[in-house]
Structure 1
Amino acid sequence: MSTTEQTSTRRRQRHVVCGVDELAPGSTRLHAVGHRQIVVGHVPGHGYVALSNYCAHQGGPLSAGSFEAMWTAEKVGERIQDPDRWVLICPYHNFEIDAATGCPVARLGTARTATYRVAVEADEIVVYV
């Protein structure tokens, strides 16, 4: 199902992906919108994200990847997982994409993965493209 909403510069189509009970925390679902492949994910404790299914590194299918809390460090030799920052890990080369922004964690050029607005409406996960 799709409907249209007006944004400041262009119209966006509303696409129902699935019910909220169909996407468990930490899991993803692939959703096709025309020629676009969109991976919708349930970030544990943080709601839902929607990104292009293609990794900015070498085009791997992010829908086959996994979510993980981002590893950070305050000093050399230390490493902790930040419960507020999540990455989607590409299954091809373990390339990490920030789940909120689509930006790569390791800066390899200027490429980033496209992100889309996602919302929960009437117990359904909806993506606006």
Structure 2
Amino acid sequence: MARHVVATVTEIPPGARKLLTVAGREIGVFNIGGEYFALLNRCPHQGGALCKGPLVGLVTSREPGRFDYSRRGEMLKCPWHGWEYDVRTGQSWCDPDDVKVRLYKVSVEPGEAVARGPFVAETFAVSVEQDYIVVEV
């Protein structure tokens, strides 16, 4: 799998996110308390732009009228239909047995390690369709 440098740690402070396109895929990178997570920007429910949704906490209830709020900012709510996903695991809160958002491996590396490479230049196929006359002056 190819590795891509997408941001500096200062670009995504705790509680923030950065949306970007990597290798043709829209991805959201989230900083949750100093840990970084990357998710595909597509809700598995109906294809909404998941990573544009709000970060919320987890609400649970053991009995009617009593609610517990935990994991503040760790659940991502789809802006289309409100389905919620755990940013840490990609697991759906609405259908945890069958629905999961795609996660990508994220690491934080020192600048000198990234500068060493190896670097791979993106290349494109090129063809020559006709010849040209060039004059140097």
TM-score grouping bracket, smaller chain normalisation: 0.7 to 0.9
| 1:41 and 1:50 in contact (8 A); partners too | yes
Question: Which amino acid letter does the alignment assign opposite residue 102 of structure 2?
Answer: A
Residue matched to 1:5: none
> When the two structures are superposed, what TM-score results if normalisation uses the length of structure 1?
0.75
1:76 lines up with 2:64 in the alignment: yes
Residue matched to 1:6: none
Deviation, 1:93, is 1.6
Question: Which amino acid letter does the alignment assign opposite residue 24 of structure 1?
Answer: P
Q: Structure 2: how far apart are the matches of 1:82 and 1:46?
A: 18
Q: Which has the higher contact order (CA 8 A, sep 6+)?
A: 1
Question: Which amino acid letter does the alignment assign opposite residue 32 of structure 1?
Answer: T
Unpaired stretches in structure 2, ≥5 consecutive residues: 115-137
Q: Structure 2: how far apart are the matches of 1:46 and 1:70?
A: 19
Identical columns (%): 36
After TM superposition, which residue ranges in structure 1, 4 or more long, deviate above 4 angstroms?
none
Q: Which structure has the highest helix share of the two?
A: 2
Q: Secondary structure at the match of 1:15?
A: coil
**Which residues in structure 2 correspond to 1:37-56 (within 5 Å)?**
37-43=26-32, 45=33, 47-56=35-44
Q: Which structure has the highest strand share of the two?
A: 1
Q: Which has the larger radius of gyration?
A: 2
Alpha carbons of structure 1 residues 36 and 26: separation in structure 2 relative to 1, 3 Å? same
**Which residues in structure 2 correspond to 1:1-129 (within 5 Å)?**
12-43=1-32, 45=33, 47-83=35-71, 86-107=74-95, 110-122=98-110
Question: Which amino acid letter does the alignment assign opposite residue 18 of structure 1?
Answer: A
> When the two structures are superposed, what TM-score results if normalisation uses the length of structure 2?
0.71
Question: Which amino acid letter does the alignment assign opposite residue 49 of structure 1?
Answer: F
Q: Structure 1: how far apart are the matches of 2:34 and 2:7?
A: 18
Deviation, 1:85, is 7.8
RMSD, matched Cα: 2.3
